[in-house]
Chain A
Amino acid sequence: MAITEIIFWFLSALAVISAIMVVLSKSPVHSVLWLIAVFFAISGHYVLLNAQFIAIVNIIVYAGAIMVLFLFVLMLMNLNKETEPQKNLWMKLTGVVSGGCLLIILISLVRQATEIKGKIAVTKTGDIGLIKVLGKELFSSYVVPFEISSVLFLSAMIGAVVIGKKD
């Protein structure tokens, strides 16, 4: 097994296990920490796929900034043992059944796709994820969505001020 493959499997296992731990952890703070592990594992995948810019953005914005926001929310909510919501058993059961159905559909889909069978991710090739190429695309073909996204940011700013500021 080549070293790339070892890293690939290691990162995949890390991502899946951490993602499961996010859901299973009793303490929300632990969930956030596991989520950070997921982000790092996925960033590793991005690097393997030669998508370096996304890898860095994923760490700076998601693992850095967004996770800080998550922690702030946890601290805002003042979670105690007493205020923990009661979880309905039936609710959990329906969740498992419906999630399982989706999983079965996805698995059967991949199994049906005979063309994909036996192929693994193409690693370390292609240059579309490199910052230089990505920047050129972003500021030429995708310049309109790029500009329009600033409207989104503005409404988010207004929203933060309207909801978050004391009257």
Chain B
Amino acid sequence: MSNILSVLLQATNTADNYFPIGIQLIFAAGFVATMIAVSALLGPKRKTKEKLENFTSGIESHGDARQPVAIKYFLVAILFVLFDVEVIFFYPYAVNFRELGWEGFMAVLMFVAFFLIGFIYIIKKGALNWED
């Protein structure tokens, strides 16, 4: 019994376990692709000029939709990436929480402290204020 259990536990950590995920990915992508393909093949096609125009609530469309976006979005996005990377590092720590003990805790605490200072800085500078 314990033998089977240990085999099972071992099994949770090899690439084989990702096989179902892979199958699911293939199915998900395949489903979407089939649906699009089938609806394109079976659906009726009437390519008149009016049909192909962009729908803008009845008003005639003008200009280009591709306007440069405000830099604010980019600032938020880049700050998001930085904190995203920080959070990623918690994961290997959390898995080893007990074994690493106080030393590991201090390491993480220091890391977080640096980020917290960065966060305070960002808030105080008003980098996340939308209206300015």
Contacts and interface: CB of A to CB of B under 8 A. Distances in A.
A99 B65 CA distance: 38
A60 interface: yes
A150 B111 contact: yes
The prevalent SS among residues of A at the interface is: helix
A166 B80 CA distance: 18
A60 B84 contact: yes
DSSP majority for the B interface? helix
Interface string A145-167: 01100110110111011001110
B107 A139 contact: yes
B18 A161 contact: no
Given A150-B114, A153-B118, A136 B107 contact: no
Contacts, number: 135
Given A153-B85, A164-B74, A75 B93 contact: no
Contact of A165 (B18, B96, B127): B127
Contacts of B100: 135-136, 139-140
A123 B68 contact: no
A160 B79 contact: yes
Contact of A153 (B64, B68, B91, B114): B114
A146 B111 contact: yes
Interface string A68-96: 11001101111110000000000000000
A124 B73 contact: no
Contact of A132 (B15, B18, B68, B96): B96
26 contacts: A7-B22, A44-B22, A61-B81, A61-B84, A61-B88, A65-B80, A66-B81, A69-B74, A69-B78, A75-B68, A76-B71, A78-B68, A124-B16, A135-B96, A135-B100, A136-B96, A139-B100, A139-B108, A140-B104, A146-B107, A147-B110, A153-B118, A160-B127, A161-B121, A161-B122, A166-B71
